[in-house]
Amino acid sequence: MDHAVLLDNLTQNSSPSSAHRTGTLPFMAADVLVNSNSNWAAHEPKRDLESFLYVFLWISWHYAGPGSAARQNFDIREIPDLAPWVQGDFVTIGRVKRDIVRDDWHRRVLPHCAPYFEPLKPCLTAWRQLYLDDELTHEAVLAVLRDALPGLEMEIWTRHDDTPWYGFGRSASGKAASLSSKKAKRKTTTTTHP
């Protein structure tokens, strides 16, 4: 909270008390990164909403499904489309992130989402459109999320639902797990939910 400003005291000239940036590079707003060498501008809520979009993308890229089931064959540094999000200086990462989201969304961003997150691609795309139209507000993002909710199936997903080639579909040795052994485990595993 070292950069917090009380809303009652907020004026157009309010700015953080420190000139340095805080955050995790893959999640920071592109403009914050691109302008990292200039004087700090007042932090706007739309930057947080942009960052949250990047967190959402990160989850859809790195996880096979719920319950922290990480994709085992996914290393962002080895994917040419996405490696620039985590390699380079602030300005370079910001420019690459902005350009990919603006120009190459359907070719370089969405294809890397794990299959479990396929139903969320329209939500991510609508959220991206808010960013492109400079209409990122809490109300607009909440509307996008609410619109996506009815289209999502609320099924029980376990690591046994994972398919070969991502997530738990690979053994520690890197070989694909046997589907028959997964089916056998699934038959013997029962899950109760309230």
Record the tokens describing residue 103, joined without a space. Answer: 């120009």
Contact yes or no for 2/17 (Cβ under 8 A) = yes
Quick one: residue 165, left, alpha or beta (phi over 0 = left, psi -120 to 50 = alpha)? Answer: left
The stretch 177-188 carries a mean pLDDT of: 34
For 153, list phi and psi in degrees, rounded to 5: -80, 135
What's the pTM?
A: 0.70
Reduced to 3 states (helix: H, G, I; strand: E, B; else coil), residue 55 is helix
pLDDT of residue 179: 32
Beta bridge partners of 70: 63
pLDDT digits (tens, 9 = 90+) for 141-168: 999 999 999 888 766 666 566 555 445 4
Domain residue ranges of the chain, discontinuous segments joined by +: 22-155
Q: Is the pLDDT of residue 1 over 80?
A: no
